[in-house]
């Protein structure tokens, strides 16, 4: 595409320990950092963010790497906007933020 302006989503999945107070604090900080960086919570340990191009995806993945706590499991998946739109919700509904999130991010 011209100028690589293909909209992409970064989906972050994580499993962080919460058995001690320091672990709970680190997990809460990581979730809050994701929210502050424009991610939408899809489920408690699954967050997603729209990016305008591959450069933005790479930037946000590097940013996540800098936010990772010292223990746990964190994964990032990159998908196109079209692939994201094909996601099937098997139980429950889209959150209000998820329904409007993509459009809001395009205007910032």
CATH architecture of the domain 2-107 equals 2-Layer Sandwich (3.30)
Q: What is the mean pLDDT of the chain?
A: 88
Over 70: is that where the pLDDT of 63 sits? yes
Asked if residues 73 and 14 have their Cβ atoms less than 8 Å apart, the reply is yes
Total-model pTM: 0.82
Q: What percent of the chain has pLDDT over 70?
A: 86
Asked if residues 81 and 8 have their Cβ atoms less than 8 Å apart, the reply is yes
Asked if residues 10 and 57 have their Cβ atoms less than 8 Å apart, the reply is yes
């Amino acid at each position: 595409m011209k100028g690589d302006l293909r909209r992409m989503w970064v989906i972050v999945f994580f499993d962080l320990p919460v058995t001690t107070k320091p672990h709970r604090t680190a997990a809460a900080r990581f979730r809050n950092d994701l929210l502050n960086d424009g991610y939408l919570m899809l489920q408690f340990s699954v967050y997603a963010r729209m990016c305008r191009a591959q450069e933005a995806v790479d930037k946000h993945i590097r940013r996540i790497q800098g936010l990772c706590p010292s223990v746990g499991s964190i994964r990032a998946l990159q998908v196109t906007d079209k692939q994201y739109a094909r996601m099937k919700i098997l139980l429950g509904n889209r959150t209000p933020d998820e329904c409007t999130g993509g459009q809001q991010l395009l205007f910032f």
